[in-house]
Amino acid sequence: MIRKARITDVKQIQKLVEVFANKGEMLPRSLSELYDNLRDFYVYEENGVLAGVCALHICWDDLAEVRSLVVAERHIKKGMGKKLVTACVDEAKEFGIKRVFALTYQRVFFEKLGFHEIDKTQLPHKIWGDCLKCSKFPECDEIAMVLEL
């Protein structure tokens, strides 16, 4: 079941994100950041346990980011990631957002959802706030991908 995240989900969200952050595949998220941005998150719950998360972060009047997409390793390749991103994209459409982007290492996954690669310089400087916290900054090796809505 996909639903909007609740306060009681925050610690589970952090644990899911932490697994992939420790591998260098995404940015870690502090509890404070998660509470501050809780309304951005969708969760995939299975039998009372979070199996995946994804957030839609609105950056500007016409631009939003799909971020913090995580599916527990035992659930990868079951379609959860697609469903989570789709929930975020559907919400972006409801808000009237024109473009959704993702910074990712998973090019093929996002291409299957209709995203295409762009040069990072096409994104506004405003979106780089989180990047300053990354150990890879400014030599980021993530791919910028965008979906036109």
Looking at every residue in the chain, the average pLDDT score rounds to: 90
pLDDT at position 39 over 80: yes
Which are the contacts of 70, defined by CB distance < 8 A and separation ≥ 6?
16, 17, 19, 20, 26, 52, 53, 54
Q: Which CATH architecture has domain 2-148?
A: 3-Layer(aba) Sandwich (3.40)
What is the token pair recorded at 84?
A: 């989570």
Stretch 104-131: mean pLDDT: 83
Average pLDDT over residues 86-111: 96
Q: pLDDT by residue (tens digit) across 75-86?
A: 999 999 999 999
Nearest to 123 by CA among 95, 93, 143, 107: 143
